Amino acid sequence: SRVRRMTARKAESKIMTRPAILAERERLRAAGKKVVFTNGCFDIVHAGHASTMNFARAQGDVLIVGLNSDASVRRLNKGPDRPINALADRMALVAALEAVSLVTWFDDDTPLALIFQLLKENDRYQGETVTNRRSDAVTQRWLDEINQPKPERKMRHGRKK
């Protein structure tokens, strides 16, 4: 099947512009595939990220991952030297993960516009089913979480933790 072949694709072919990924999303929808989406900076990829990707992929047929652009990462106040890895490198690494089907990026502070473009009813975002694009409780909870004040990060080995 096409979805199974996606996991065997070369990592570079999994990386798509927003118009290309939206077109691919429509093809997947027409084929009856359940799409799962997650997002993040993925600047310093660790085992927890891989575990999250595996969990997300298990929620559907196709996992799309959206990465914050370099400018978006800088605006998130992750530290003066962030991102450590440029967007192209971060996307290549995430695309190399077996659980990941497709990768794209967004320049906004949040992935909300991308989520609304990609996900339709019965798709999944961070493990929960999208039921209504306009009044989605999952999206509201996510917005509440990101708007919480973050504690100051402590220095570890000369870098912010």
User: Are the CB atoms for 102 and 9 separated by under 8 Å?
Assistant: no
Confidence of residue 152 (pLDDT cuts 50, 70, 90): low
Identify which of 23-27, 150-154, 157-161 has the greatest average pLDDT: 23-27
Residue with tokens 């080995």: 157
pTM beyond 0.85: the answer is: no
For residue 153, pLDDT over 50 is answered with no
DSSP 36: E
Using one digit for the tens of pLDDT, what is the confidence trace for 31-67?
999 888 889 999 989 999 899 999 989 988 999 999 9
Confidence of residue 134 (pLDDT cuts 50, 70, 90): very low
Task: Quote the tokens at residue 71.
Answer: 């400018």
Confidence of residue 7 (pLDDT cuts 50, 70, 90): very low
For residue 132, pLDDT over 50 is answered with no
Q: What is the share, in percent, of the chain residues with pLDDT greater than 90?
A: 43
- Cβ contacts of 73 within 8 Å, gap of 6 or more: 41, 43, 82, 83
CA-CA distance, 71 to 52, in Å (whole number)? 24
pLDDT for the residue numbered 135:
42
